[in-house]
C-alpha cells in the first residue's frame, strides 16, 4: 500500500497548474447517459474516482475514447442499467447514474452507496425527488430499483441542501415531461458547471447557482463539447499548503471566483493574495494568525476545506474554533494531527484548535480524502519525517499531489 513520506521545513514557492474539478467532472460524466450522441470533455482530472466512474459507465454500455486533451463519451450503446455494489462501494458518487438512467431508459438498479468515514450520507432526498417525478422506487437487498415509463416534471423542495441530490434531480428533469422546479437547490459552482454542460447538450435550465432551479423537459439531448471547470478545492488546498510554510506560490489554470470565503479566511490569517484572471498568488507571513470558521452550503465556507484549515490553525498564533455543520463525523483528521503534536479539543461538532510553536513528524493514517490533505499540509512543517499511510484516499481527489508539491519545493516522495 502506497505511503507518502514528507520531510518538513521547506518553504513552498513557484508555480503549479490546477486540474479540472473532480466534483464537477463526476456528475458531468454521468450526463453522457442522457444522450445517444457523443459528449466530448476536456480538462478532465486524472483521478482514481474519475477512472472508477468511467469503468462504471463502460459497464453500462457507454463508449469511452481517450483523447490527448480529454475524452469522448458515447451513450448510444447504453444497454445495462445496473450499478453493482462492487463498483458503488468504492465510490459513493456512483449514485449520480440513478437520475440519468431513469430519465433516458426508464429503469435503474443502483446499489445504495452505504456510509463512509465522514458520515451516514443517506440518499433519501434523491429517491424522494425522483418519486415526486413519478418514478416507482423500491429499496431492497441494498439496491435502489427504479422504473418510470416517462418522468413527469414536479415541484421538489429538498429537506436539506444536497449537492449530488440537486445534480441527480436536475439531470433526470432534463428529459422529463413538463417543468420541474427544484427548491432549496445546492448553489455550488459544480452544479452550475453541470447545468452549463447540460444546456450545451440542449437542456432547458434556468436558475442554476441559485436556490431555485427550473428545468423544462425536452424529448432528447444531443452531443456537445464541454471543458470542466477548475477544481476550487484543489486550489484551496495548495493555498493552505503555501500558507502554512510561509511560502509564495502562484496557482495557474484556476480562479478565485468561487473561493471568496476561503480567500477571505486566508487574508484574515495574514496572507497577501493577488487574484488574476486565470491564476491566484499567495504570499504568506512567517507565522499565520488563527482563523475560526463555520462550514455551510455554498456560498458559505466549504466543508471540503475544513480539514485543511484545521491543519494551518495547528501552528497559527492564537485559538481557532472550527464548526462543522454538514457532516456528522468530519473531524477524523484531528486525532492524526494530535499525533504530530497539535492541541485540538473536540466538543460535538466544534473543534477548538490552540496553535503550538511546532509540530513533530510521526507516522499518521489517512481516513478520508480531505483528512489526508490536512495531514500532508501539516507534514510540510512538522519537524523531521512524517509518513502518511493509506494515501489511496488522496489519489481519489488530488492529481499527482507529490509531483505538484515537489515542484513547489516540498521534500515529499511516494513510498510503498
Ligand atoms: C458532495 O457530496 C461532494 N461530493 C462532497 O465532496 C461535499 O463534501 C458535499 O457535497 C458537501 O458539499 C461530490 O460532489 C461528488 P450532500 P454529497 O448531499 O452530494 C445529507 C469531497 O471531498 N443528505 O450535499 O454526497 C448528507 O448526509 C466530497 O470531494 C441527506 O441526509 O453531499 C450531508 O449531511 C466529500 N440525504 C448533507 O445532506 C440525502 O439524500 C449534505 O450532503 C442527501 C444528503
Distant-in-sequence, close-in-space partners of 231: CB < 8 Å, separation ≥ 6: 18, 19, 20, 21, 22, 23, 24, 45, 254
Whether pLDDT at 40 is above 80: yes
End-to-end CA distance of the chain: 6
Atom of ligand 1 nearest to the CA of 125: 40
The CA distances from residue 40 to 27, 69, 284, 378, in Å, are 14, 10, 39, 38
Partners of 75 in beta bridges = none
Atom of ligand 1 nearest to the CA of 397: 29
**How many whole angstroms separate alpha carbon 66 and alpha carbon 410?**
32
Residue 89 is predicted with a pLDDT of: 87
pLDDT tens by residue, 159-199: 999 999 999 999 999 999 999 999 999 999 999 999 999 99
Residue 151, SS3? coil
Provide the 8-state DSSP code for 18: -
Residue 235 is predicted with a pLDDT of: 98
* Ligand 1 proximal residues by C-beta, below 6 Å: 22-23, 26, 93, 119, 121-126, 160, 162-165, 303-304, 326-327, 369-370, 397
Beta strands 248-252; 13-17: pairing state: parallel
Tell me, rounded to whole angstroms, the distance of Cα 20 from its chain centroid. 11
pLDDT tens by residue, 126-165: 999 999 999 999 999 999 999 999 999 999 999 999 999 9
Residue 115: pLDDT band by 50, 70, 90 thresholds? low
Whether pLDDT at 120 is above 80: no
Share of the chain above pLDDT 70, in %: 100
User: Is-contact 132 102, C-beta < 8 A?
Assistant: no
Taking the centre of ligand 1 as the mean of its atom positions, its distance from the CA of residue 121, in whole angstroms, is: 7
Partners of 67 in beta bridges = 70
Atom of ligand 1 nearest to the CA of 302: 12
Q: Which residues are catalytic?
A: 116
Taking the centre of ligand 1 as the mean of its atom positions, its distance from the CA of residue 219, in whole angstroms, is: 30
Whether pLDDT at 353 is above 80: yes
Q: Whose CA is nearest to atom 25 of ligand 1?
A: 164
Taking the centre of ligand 1 as the mean of its atom positions, its distance from the CA of residue 248, in whole angstroms, is: 33
pTM over 0.85: yes
Taking the centre of ligand 1 as the mean of its atom positions, its distance from the CA of residue 161, in whole angstroms, is: 9
Amino acid at each position: 500500500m502506497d505511503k507518502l513520506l514528507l520531510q518538513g521545513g521547506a518553504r513552498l514557492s513557484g508555480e503549479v497548474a490546477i486540474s479540472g474539478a473532480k466534483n464537477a467532472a463526476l456528475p458531468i460524466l454521468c450526463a453522457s447517459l442522457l444522450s445517444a450522441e457523443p459528449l466530448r470533455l476536456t480538462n478532465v482530472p486524472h483521478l482514481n474516482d474519475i477512472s472508477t466512474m468511467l469503468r462504471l459507465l463502460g459497464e453500462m454500455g457507454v463508449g469511452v475514447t481517450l483523447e490527448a486533451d480529454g475524452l469522448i463519451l458515447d451513450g448510444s450503446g447504453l444497454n445495462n442499467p445496473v450499478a453493482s455494489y462492487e463498483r458503488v462501494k468504492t465510490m459513493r458518487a456512483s449514485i449520480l447514474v440513478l437520475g440519468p438512467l431513469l430519465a433516458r431508459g426508464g429503469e435503474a438498479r443502483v446499489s445504495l452507496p452505504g456510509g463512509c468515514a465522514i458520515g451516514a450520507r443517506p440518499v433519501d432526498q434523491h429517491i424522494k425527488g425522483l418519486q415526486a417525478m413519478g418514478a416507482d422506487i423500491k429499496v431492497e437487498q441494498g439496491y435502489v430499483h427504479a422504473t418510470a415509463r416517462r418522468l413527469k416534471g414536479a415541484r421538489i423542495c429538498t429537506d436539506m441542501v444536497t449537492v449530488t441530490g440537486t445534480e441527480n434531480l436536475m439531470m433526470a428533469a432534463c428529459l422529463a415531461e413538463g417543468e420541474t422546479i427544484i427548491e432549496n437547490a445546492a448553489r455550488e459552482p459544480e452544479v452550475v458547471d453541470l447545468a452549463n454542460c447540460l444546456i450545451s447538450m440542449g437542456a432547458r435550465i434556468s436558475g442554476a447557482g441559485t436556490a431555485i432551479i427550473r428545468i423544462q423537459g425536452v424529448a432528447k439531448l444531443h452531443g456537445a463539447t464541454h471543458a470542466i471547470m477548475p477544481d476550487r478545492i484543489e486550489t484551496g488546498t495548495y493555498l493552505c499548503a503555501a500558507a502554512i510554510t510561509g511560502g509564495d506560490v502562484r496557482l495557474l489554470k484556476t480562479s478565485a471566483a468561487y473561493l471568496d470565503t476561503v480567500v477571505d479566511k486566508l487574508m484574515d490569517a495574514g496572507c497577501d493574495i493577488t487574484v488574476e484572471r486565470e491564476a491566484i498568488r499567495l504570499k504568506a507571513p512567517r507565522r499565520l494568525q488563527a482563523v475560526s470558521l463555520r462550514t455551510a452550503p455554498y456560498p458559505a465556507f466549504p466543508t471540503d476545506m475544513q480539514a485543511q484549515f484545521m491543519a494551518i490553525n495547528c501552528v497559527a498564533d492564537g485559538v481557532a474554533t472550527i464548526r462543522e455543520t454538514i457532516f456528522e463525523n468530519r473531524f477524523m483528521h484531528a486525532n492524526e494531527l494530535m499525533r504530530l503534536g497539535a492541541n485540538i479539543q473536540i466538543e460535538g461538532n466544534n473543534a477548538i484548535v490552540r496553535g503550538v510553536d511546532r509540530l513533530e513528524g510521526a507516522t499518521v493514517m489517512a481516513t478520508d480524502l480531505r483528512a489526508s490533505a490536512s495531514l500532508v499540509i501539516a507534514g510540510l512543517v512538522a519537524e523531521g519525517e512524517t509518513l502518511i499511510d493509506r494515501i489511496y484516499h488522496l489519489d481519489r481527489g488530488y492529481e499527482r499531489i507529490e509531483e505538484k508539491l515537489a515542484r513547489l519545493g516540498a521534500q515529499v516522495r511516494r513510498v510503498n
